[in-house]
Amino acid sequence: MGGRLFIICAAALLAGGCFKDQRRDDTDKSALEIRQLIDRWTKAFEAKDLDGVMAYYAPGDRLDSYDIVPPLQYKGAAAYRKDYAEFFKQFNGPIHVDERDVDIEADNNVAFAHGLERLTGTSTDGKPVDTWLRWTSGYRKIGGRWYALHDHVSVPVDLATGKALLDLKP
């Protein structure tokens, strides 16, 4: 009996160890999957590929986004898709994105990421665009893959003058 109990305990400890390693591996895997999702968004955004960009976000009503432009919030994927379409229309040719200080915090089913992003390109009236933005995304794993449920994009503002600060550098 003593021997059998030892074997059961050893098996339980081993299983506990396996679960523990499995969890850490899952978290690392989550962060890698989020990194890949961000990279796919970046490629699609630079190419002004609306379907590719929207693949980053949860379809339907669960998405709730705060963009650099009004209104205060975009509820649902359809509203945010329209916002992206408007944004892309303001550029001649592709947009270039540089990422800086990206941080990803991921658990098994919930994650968030944020970073600074420099957008460069040419507007449809021929003017150069060169602006650093701040972005944050919140994600949930749904049906085995990650989707952004939330997006927040902004620039700081000067409260004394009411001016948006579009020329700050990190």
Q: Which CB contacts under 8 angstroms, 24+ apart, belong to 31-39?
A: 31/104, 31/105, 31/106, 31/111, 33/106, 33/145, 33/146, 34/104, 34/106, 34/111, 34/113, 34/139, 34/146, 35/104, 37/139, 37/146, 37/148, 38/99, 38/102, 38/104, 38/113, 38/137
Nearest approach, Cβ of residue 27 and a second copy (Å): 8
Smallest gap from residue 104 Cβ to a second copy (A)? 10
Residues of this chain that interact with a second copy (CB under 8 A) are 64, 66-73, 101, 103, 105-112, 114, 116, 132, 134, 136, 138, 140, 149-150, 152, 154-159, 162-166, 168-170
Shortest Å distance, C-beta 57 to a second copy: 14
Q: Which is nearer to a second copy, 10 or 43 (CB)?
A: 10
Indicate the residue among 51 and 125 with the shorter CB distance to a second copy.
125
Tokens standing for residue 126: 């021929």
* Minimum CB distance to a second copy smaller for 15 or for 43: 15
